Amino acid sequence: MARLTAGLAAMSVILSAAVLPGCAGEQTISMAEVPPAVKATLDREAKGGQVTESEKEMKNGKTVYSFDAKVDGKAWDIVIAEDGVLISKEPE
């Protein structure tokens, strides 16, 4: 019975990661940890706005950086590839 319970607990963790992919692999980071190419793109796209959240995560096997920013009172979600290429910029 104990092995069954342990197996079910492990399966629950695996399924949680599969069902909630946004929650798996996200890591909150400081702006000091953002690569220069990513920072340059963020500075251009946020246009001096306030970055309220920054995360590093894996998407489709690649490292991306995701930022929540307030620009002129509007909230934006900005996603940038590790090499500084803008992936998306969408209003929240």
pLDDT digits (tens, 9 = 90+) for 17-34: 444 444 458 999 999 999
Contact 64, 87 (CB under 8 A): yes
pLDDT of residue 15: 39
Longest dimension (CA), the chain: 58
pLDDT digits (tens, 9 = 90+) for 39-67: 999 999 999 899 999 999 999 999 999 99
In this predicted structure, the answer to whether residue 9 has a pLDDT above a threshold of 80 is: no
pTM of whole model > 0.85?
no
pLDDT digits (tens, 9 = 90+) for 70-89: 999 999 999 999 999 999 99
